[in-house]
Amino acid sequence: MTMTQTMDRPTFRDRLHVDEIKHQAKHASPRRAAETVGSAPFVAAGYAARFVIAGLWAVAAWAFSALRMGWRLAGPKPELPPAALLAAENEMLREELARMRGGS
């Protein structure tokens, strides 16, 4: 890096926006500071409550899904028709389809 490039870069003080900071400091009020300090615990409590409720919701949804899966696995198994019955029904459907296509 050359000396010219080093001089052209903005300094830390240039990036601070000192005028804006001075303006905000001049217009600061004790009432506004007290309101901010007083409301901070409520904002933190709301944030924490949402975090906790979201976590509880995720746990409840997972637990419900696991319960439902266990219920289904423990329940009676559906009786499947015998293979011969399925083959006969399949053949009947093929014949009907052939008839609908024009007997080919």
- For the chain, the domains span 3-101
From residue 14, alpha-carbon distances to 6, 11, 20, 29 in Å are 14, 5, 12, 27
Average pLDDT, the chain: 87
* Three-state DSSP string of 9-68: CCCCCHHHCHHHHHHHHHCCCHHHHHHHHHHHHHHHHHHHHHHHHHHHHHHHHHHHHHHH
Grade residue 9 by pLDDT with cuts at 50, 70 and 90: confident
Q: Between 8 and 99, name the one with better pLDDT.
A: 99
DSSP 102: T
**Poorest-confidence range of 26-30, 64-68, 84-88, 97-101?**
26-30
Angle at 59 between CA 54 and CA 65, to 5 degrees: 125
Please check the confidence at residue 30 and state whether its pLDDT lies above 70. yes
pLDDT, tens only, 35-84: 989 999 999 999 999 999 999 999 999 999 999 999 999 988 888 788 99
pTM of the model as a whole: 0.43
